[in-house]
Amino acid sequence: MVGSSNTDMVIKLTRIPRPGETVLGGEFFMAAGGKGANQAVAAARAGGEVTFIARVGADDFGRKAVAGFRRDGIRVKHIVGDQKAASGVALIFVAPDGENSIAVAPGANANLNPVDIKRAKSAIAGADVLLMQLEVPLAAVKEAVRIAWKAGVPMILNPAPARPLNDDILRHVSVLTPNETEAELLARTRIRGESDLKPAADRLLAFGVRAVLMTLGAKGVYIATKERREIVPAFKVKTVDTTAAGDAFNGALAVALAEGRPILEAARFACAAAALSTTRMGAQPSLPRRREIEKMMSRTSGGMR
């Protein structure tokens, strides 16, 4: 896993403040977050043996984050304690209807660099799967891609937050996991409905990506390969907070693929993890354990709605 680590500081309010306004009466809580960290924890809880390559600040937030990774059995040898930058934080306002306003200070995440990645070369080259996101500098992502490609390690890229990518990265990706907004940006096309999914996926596959798993929220995930086009429906649950659903999906997907599961079965496993994560508040606190995922998959005859 190559990615970011943040501490989320959340205030639940009656409404989002306007510029210059103070709104009183909020409920505050903190939770571990950051897309890379969330996905590392999701993979570990789903049964994977995870090495996390990242940067945190040499501060309380960073130390608590690393302690949390250790509790989940994540290997932390390649997490660098940055002496010049604070740990990443996200300040989040949440309204009762789920609307939110988020400001992120990336801190040490912005300093993850190719040298850090090269120091973890043996871990990357010896992995069954490499999973990455885009909350760290692209230079670090490119170096990880280079090492993994040379070693023949399959790569999953969750292209979030959305940003343009060149063919040099995409043609090396084994599995691309965008949401609809990210797929629109990368494919340079509009997705207005289900009929637009195939042409968007076709354009992404044309870059050299071997498989596209486009997450559709409550609708599930659209799978596109050269041989297959299929929607795997989402599991039906009572949703409380969707914050880390995508991260739960990606972490569980990485584990399933590392175990050699076929793409359809891996997607169902990942959908079950994502659904479970939406039934709880917070990012990492919501991520399910493997036994919960397996129970969700067997809950109905088809395991899906």
Residue 78 carries which side chain, given as an amino acid letter?
H
Contact by Cβ (8 Å): 183, 204: yes
CA angle at 49 for the pair 44 and 55, rounded to the nearest 5°: 75
SS3 301: coil
Question: Which uninterrupted H or E stretch holds 121?
Answer: helix 121-125
- Record the tokens describing residue 216, joined without a space: 């559709």
Residue 247 annotated in active site: yes
SS3 292: helix
- DSSP secondary structure of 126-181: T-S-EEE-SSS-HHHHHHHHHHHHHHT--EEE---S-----HHHHTT-SEE--BHH
Beta bridge partner(s), residue 91? 9, 103
Distances, alpha carbon 298 to alpha carbons 148, 169, 268, 294, 302, in Å? 34, 37, 11, 6, 8
Distance in angstroms (rounded) separating the CA atoms of residues 165 and 289? 33
Chain centroid to CA 53: how far?
14
Kindly name the residue from 72, 82, 241, 247 that is annotated as catalytic.
247
Question: Which residues are part of the catalytic machinery?
Answer: 247
